[in-house]
Structure 1
């Protein structure tokens, strides 16, 4: 069915009142978008950051009385709404529309990441079939893509791996398809653990190939490879734990790091690891290293 949307240009202090106003006027949902291309890379723990200039959009059923809805929104907001306009939202199959934005991605010589509803472009290659809707990690972001490129370059035959912050399971599943014996998936989000399990099944992997755990239940193993695509702050905080999960001579791959944060992350792991040259894409970097000291 068709929908109407009310788009309002706002500043950060106006946002909360605008959300209340649009919901009170009949909006079935309210979304916030950056209105000025202002990146927010790494919020503090527990923080919900907002941009300085924001587009607040309320979604309404098509039979809403626009005049009455506008008056009600102004009443709750406490005055005239900031610059705004009503628009008719095109009637589409929205459950499937978002799928058009995802395409197969080649991540090296051997590895492809393919949306689960598409045919692989090169069926004879290693094709990881992924449902991008389940959890973070689709291969499109530079941090994930650089990790996948590194996995593609490694000989992972008969290795044990820890994927710490597994998200959709994309890195760990790629490692299994590249020859790893077992990957232990760890994440703080139960939805991510579910997504990882479902994506492993989608790739016809054995049920015990990628067991998943919340961090307190992570087995005390020493893996051949530890993968961690998180953020710079948590990676630095986790240095002791991730070192303990890496066997002597093992490898570690860290991402989710801005270029300006690389030195601080390297310093956190330097007591145990010798680092390879930094690899970068856009403003992001990937750090890989070998454990040479216990």
Structure 2
């Protein structure tokens, strides 16, 4: 079977939003080539790889997303829709060059080749992310999350997901009621459940994300994760102990008025998906609403912030 491979050249900031957009309009999968990840790995103090400055500079900063659509679809309509959606995303994020063309490819060239690069890894000292097709033997008190992410949703390798996972491990208490806003593959919802949460509501505006979250919850045998299509204000105002939102700064600041209606007094709000340049903007917005700043983590160009909810409204 042949597919259309659509190429989008963008920025690290916009890659997650664009991948979710592509999935929502019918992409069978997307892969990301991010030179920034390569540079960060090379520049790590404990890296075994070495490259001189000239080579690192040749990598550039452009993120290339390759997305795949069935040839049963009208490619001209797909391209028009992609450009329309990119214009919308551009209102909030720097989308870079944008649409860069498409090609015909055979299914075997892309549908499974990406899996060989995805191996079990520690997302924190205690938690291990394991793709469903890999074998991993659990050690001591490790928590293993088995994930079959497809190709367009979070695998846990991104800094924002990793920081949220570490913060969930720190702040989640047994019996907590948790809401995951923008659940993607469901990884953070599943982590919260495995850390002892009694009830997890996983929210996403993308019905494909909701479907994948449900499937991953079944794989991990967690029955208390309830995936729902929608935004925070679509669900009943039942107070939770913790809310996690790994999205973008604009949405996070927009949630500041709604969070207290869904979070207990003194409850924890963990949020990420924020680039460093917008960290203070988010902090200032929540301080205006009387939230207490508990903690800030930074990895690469990304920030995760923990707030404590003020008195009930």
Shift of 1:212: 2.2
Q: Hey, what's the Cα distance between the residues in 1 that align with 2:202 and 2:98?
A: 38
Matched, 1:113 2:129: yes
Total equivalences in the alignment: 239
Equivalent in the alignment of 2:205: 188
In the alignment, what sits opposite 2:61? 37
Listed as ranges, the matches of 1:45-194 within 5 Å are 45-47=88-90, 51-52=96-97, 56-59=101-104, 94-124=110-140, 125-133=142-150, 135-194=152-211
The answer to whether the Cα contact below 8 Å between 2:181 and 2:244 also exists between their aligned partners in 1 is yes
**Residues of 2 paired with 1:157 and 1:250: CA distance?**
14
1:122 to partner: Cα distance = 2.8
- Measured in 1, the distance between the counterparts of 2:32 and 2:129 equals 30
Corresponding position: 1:272 with 2:296: no
Change (3 A) 1:122 1:287: same
Runs of at least 5 residues in structure 2 that lack an aligned partner in the other structure: 10-30, 35-58, 65-85
Closer, same or farther in 2 for the Cα pair 1:134/1:247, shift >3 Å? farther
**Number of the residue aligned with 1:82:** none
Pair 280,60 (structure 1): closer, same or farther in 2 beyond 3 Å: closer
How many Å separate the matches in 2 of 1:54 and 1:95? Answer: 21
Q: Distance in 2 between matches of 1:118 and 1:258?
A: 33
Q: TM-score, normalised by structure 1?
A: 0.71
Q: CA RMSD of the aligned region, Å? A: 3.4
- Counterpart in the other structure of 1:257: 274
Aligned partner of 1:235 in structure 2 is 252
Relative to structure 1, is the Cα distance of residues 273 and 252 closer, same or farther in structure 2, using a 3 angstrom cutoff?
same
Task: Answer whether contact 1:32 1:56 (CA < 8 A) is retained.
Answer: no
Unmatched runs of 5 consecutive residues or more in structure 1: 10-30, 62-90
Q: Which shifted more, 230-239 or 269-278? A: 269-278
Could you say which residue in structure 2 is the equivalent of 1:200? 217
Partner of 1:287: 305
Task: Compare relative contact order (CA 8 Å, sep 6+) and give the higher one, 1 or 2.
Answer: 2
Distance change >3 Å, CA 159–CA 134, structure 1 → 2: farther
Q: How many angstroms does 1:32 deviate by?
A: 11
SS of residue matched to 2:271: strand
CA contact (8 A) 1:135 1:192 kept: no
Asked which structure has the greater CA Rg, the reply is 1
Q: Partners of 1:60 and 1:211 in 2: how far apart?
A: 34
Structure 1 residue 290 displacement after superposition: 1.2
Deviations 1:9-46 (A, max 9, x none): 9xxxxxxxxxxxxxxxxxxxxx9989953369xx7744
Cα distance 1:213–1:282, how it changes in 2: closer, same or farther (>3 A)? same
Aligned residue for 1:95, secondary structure, equals coil
Q: CA deviation at 1:118?
A: 1.0
Could you tell me how far 1:246 is from its partner in structure 2?
A: 1.0
Cα pair distance change 1:293/1:272, threshold 3 Å: farther
Q: Could you tell me how far apart the structure 2 residues matched to 1:32 and 1:109 are?
A: 26
Counterparts of 1:60 and 1:171, CA distance in 2: 34
